[in-house]
Copies of this chain bind each other. A is one copy, B any other.
């Protein structure tokens, strides 16, 4: 498998965690988003959205991080990242979607570029935007984690929810969001980031880390 990735991409980070948790070997092909390498013709042919990640498995390009997680779960079920019960599965997926749909899209690089270049926001305004959507989102996530054991979001092992939460918390810390109001989120982050599958998926461990 080959993963087209950018070290700082939160969506690529999710897939790296899932691949590691499932003990699936892969090669990294870096796509430098700040240098606009996602716009090169070769990459566009693979991923018309010009976003990372793209996972190529058996010569098939697979797009969109959550869709890739679902694919990996179906194609490589030995180590499961979803619980068995239908309602439990729905709860895990809803948590993952809340991050992938309600928090991350507002704060990714292409949106921050628009805010800066099209709307001429200054750093304070951009930072307020960034923090606003994280804090609003985390409030809901923390509530959804009321039954968490403080190690993983749901149950006693990693799921899609942890694959999505950890990169989002990593980003929040990078932007110095005050997380003191979110003790479950912080506890799960500390626990997971100490595990090899998460730690080795972190931006600092990537071959394209700067």
In the complex, the chain B residue whose C-beta lies closest to that of A71 is B90
Q: Could you tell me if B86 and A75 are in contact, using CB atoms closer than 8 angstroms?
A: yes
Q: Could you tell me if A49 and B89 are in contact, using CB atoms closer than 8 angstroms?
A: no
Chain B residues whose CB sits within 8 angstroms of the CB of A119 once the complex forms: 119, 121, 125, 129
**Cβ-defined partner of A105 (8 Å) among B65, B87, B106, B128:** B106
| Interface size range of chain A in the complex | 35 or more
A64 at the interface (CB under 8 A from B): yes
Q: Could you tell me if A68 and B50 are in contact, using CB atoms closer than 8 angstroms?
A: no
Query: Looking at the complex, which of A94-102, A185-193, A198-206 is the stretch in contact with chain B?
Result: A94-102
The interface of chain A, by Cβ under 8 A from chain B, is 48-51, 60, 62-68, 70-71, 74-75, 86-87, 89-90, 93-94, 96-98, 100-102, 104-106, 111, 114, 118-119, 121, 125, 128-129, 132, 137, 139-140, 143-144
